[in-house]
Amino acid sequence: MGIETAPPTDMFLTTQLQKVLNWSRRSSLWPMPFATACCGIELMATASSRYDLARFGAEAMRFSPRQSDLMIVAGRVAIKMMPVLQRIYLQMTEPKWVISMGACASTGGVFDTYATVQGVDQFIPVDVYVPGCPPRPEMLMEGIMAIQRHIDQDGLPAKKQRHPLGITVQPTHTVRPQPAPLTVSVRG
Ligand code: SF4
């Protein structure tokens, strides 16, 4: 990336090991996508070239819970699916985090029925709630950055008892008109 050409090569830095560990952890979150409905499409868009989740080091989606440390529940969850979700959560590596993406995952949304879980936080600890139906990719990124900020401040979960963070993302950005204008140049 050219960074090695900027400082003198005999330079060194001193820091605390804990800071390096926190920096590594927050820069390499590996999400476990649990996408069951339309919110999953926004989750996919977050990893696409327009939004590029790789800028935050969290684009390596894994479909193996033992390689993941960030569960993203995107979409409504049927009560029959809940044992599966719980098992996946339990199999994920520690320290691990959970984002509830969208109204359906957080509250059941408009599906106020006996068959739909009325909030996944009744069964697994949720750290960040991302509101919306569906939330835009920027909102999901804000949720991921909320967890990164927490890790940066040594905020790792206690080993003995897991307490959910319970952060709710508030929209702070101005939404631009979509689709953004596309400029095409023709070589002639
Ligand atoms: S919150 Fe809206 S967009 Fe997301 S799964 Fe529910 S209905 Fe679909």
Q: Which residue's CA lies nearest to atom 6 of ligand 1?
A: 104
Q: For the chain, give the mean pLDDT.
A: 86
Any ligand 1 atom below 6 A from CB of 102: yes
CATH of the domain spanning 16-168: 3.40.50.12280
Any ligand 1 atom below 6 A from CB of 73: no
Percent of the chain with pLDDT over 90: 59
Any ligand 1 atom below 6 A from CB of 104: yes
Q: Given a cut of 80, is residue 50 above it in pLDDT?
A: yes
- DSSP-based three-state secondary structure for 79: coil
Residue 163: predicted pLDDT: 75
Any ligand 1 atom below 6 A from CB of 119: no
Q: Which residue's CA lies nearest to atom 8 of ligand 1?
A: 38
Percent of the chain with pLDDT over 70: 86
Question: pLDDT per residue over 128-159, tens digit each?
Answer: 999 999 999 999 999 999 999 988 887 676 66
Any ligand 1 atom below 6 A from CB of 76: yes
Report the C-alpha gap between 128 and 169 in whole angstroms: 7
Any ligand 1 atom below 6 A from CB of 39: yes
Q: Using 50, 70 and 90 to split pLDDT, how confident is the model at 183?
A: confident
The residue written with tokens 């001193």 in the block is 14
Question: pLDDT per residue over 75-92, tens digit each?
Answer: 999 999 999 999 999 999
Q: Given a cut of 90, is residue 35 above it in pLDDT?
A: yes
CA distances (Å), origin 81, targets 23, 63, 88, 113, 147: 34, 16, 11, 15, 26
Mean pLDDT over residues 84-110, rounded?
Answer: 93
Q: Using 50, 70 and 90 to split pLDDT, how confident is the model at 165?
A: confident
